[in-house]
Structures are given as structure tokens and as C-alpha cells.
Amino acid sequence: MLNEKPLVSVVIPTYHHDQYLMTAVRSVQAQTYPRVQLLVVMVGDDKDTWDALEGVRYDLGIVVSDKADHIHQINLGLKEAKGEFVTIFGSDDFMLPNKIEREMSVATATNAVLVYSRFFLADEHLNINAVPPLFSFSYELLTHRNFVTDCSMVAKSMYDEFGVFDESLGSLAVYDKWLHIAEKYEDRITFNPYPTFIYRTHREQKHASRVQDPKQLELYEKIVKASLQRKGLPTNEVKFRVHNIECERI
């Protein structure tokens, strides 16, 4: 049909999150947007995940990864994504019912290639305790701190143009990709001010300890310097520090 809405692919990489996974899956299945391809990327030896998906295996696509590497799993999911837009989603998070519909509406209205949204911060049991601040987009601001969430709505054409995530960068591969996109399409990255998902915090997460690793700070600097060089901008004053459990450019 000529007026049919674009297909949106949702990629959920997961490993030993069986206690949270079905909540995430059900929240995607409950979306008000009518055309969604859901892909769960699991590790082959993760029997608990396979058991957790019992009863819904035929309602989604299952991609099997040969290793428990988050970025590698995302890349495998991207290869199977058929949508015009793609969003990556945490297997321990919760998608509010209108996330996809709201972000696709913004993308259509503004001709955006990337839409990122405000979100709720919650505890292990999804009790909301904060709404972290987010900012209107600029490339300059992005070089100081990654405030664009992993589960942003991204045009599939961006992965066709810039490639999938660089697995050698670990968790910072997402930041690296946003910088690549922003270098060329700064005016087509849009902020949606309404919360669209709940980010769950729990004891199994290692973000706080990871960002304080000196090698991680060096990698932040390397990624930003490479981006600035591609833009023809000076790189001599790029230095990062840990501030409030986040990395930011000094």
C-alpha cells in the first residue's frame, strides 16, 4: 500500500538476562506502531534465554551469536534488520507503548536520520526514580559527552553508509557511530523531549566501574580526536575525565 508506514526493526542483544528479557520483549510487542520487526540476538549456549523465550519464539526473529559480545550481537541483528529505521534496545529495559510511534512521527516530520528521546531511570523493579536531563543536538556538544542513547531511532541507510559498529571499540562503538553520523548529518539529528522508555539499573551492570578505567578514557579521547580530524578541526585540547559516573570532555 502506498500509505503504509515504514517498517521499524528492533534489535535486542541479550545474554543471561532471562529474568528481564520477557518484560523487554512484551513491551516491544505492545507498541502502538503497526509495523515492527523484532529480533532477539542470543548467544548459542545461553539455555536460560532460550527457555525464557518459550511461547514467543514464533512471534519474533531469533538470531544466534557465536560469542557473548554486546556489539557483535548488535551487528548480527543489523544484518537481519529489514526496516527502514532501526532501534537497538536493552534486554533489561522497558519500552513505553508509544516509543516507536512517537519517534517515527518526529523522524517523518523533521526528515531526521536519528531521533533520540528523554527516558525514565528506574531501579531493578522498574520503580521510576529520575528523568535524566537531555539536550538539543549539536555536533560540538556530542564531542564533549555522549548524551545520545543507544536505543535511538536510526535510519537503516546510516548503517549502509557508515557501516555497522566497530567491534574493536567495545561499548564506545555506539558513541563512535553517532559521531560519524553527526559529522555529516548534524541538522538531521533530532531530540524528542518526551520519555519513551525506562532504563533499568541493577547490580549486574558494570558501567560505573568501566568508565573509570584509564584505558576507557584514552579510548574516548582517541574516538573524539579521530572525529575532529575528519571534520578538519583542532584536536590538541581533547581530554576526558569521569564526572558523575559519566565521561565528559574537559
The pTM score is 0.94
Convert the pLDDT of each residue in 166-189 to its tens digit: 999 999 999 999 999 999 999 999
**pLDDT tens, residue by residue, 24-67:** 999 999 999 999 999 999 999 989 999 989 888 878 999 999 99
pLDDT of 3: 66
Q: Which domain holds residue 231?
A: 206-250
Q: Would you place residue 145 in the very low, low, confident or very high pLDDT band (cuts 50, 70, 90)? A: very high
- Residue 66 inside a domain? The answer is yes
pLDDT band at 215 (very low <50, low <70, confident <90, very high): confident
Whether 77 and 194 map to the same domain: the answer is yes
The percentage of the chain sitting over the pLDDT mark of 90, rounded to a whole number, equals 79
- Residues 99, 67 share a domain: yes
Banded model confidence at residue 244, pLDDT cuts 50, 70, 90: confident
Strands of the chain (E only): list them.
Answer: 8-13, 36-43, 61-65, 85-88, 94-95, 114-117, 120-122, 128-130, 153-155, 189-192, 197-200, 240-243, 246-249
Secondary structure (3-state) at 99: helix
Are 197 and 235 contained in the same domain?
Answer: no
- 196 lies in the same domain as 216: no
- Residue 190 is assigned to a structural domain of this protein: yes
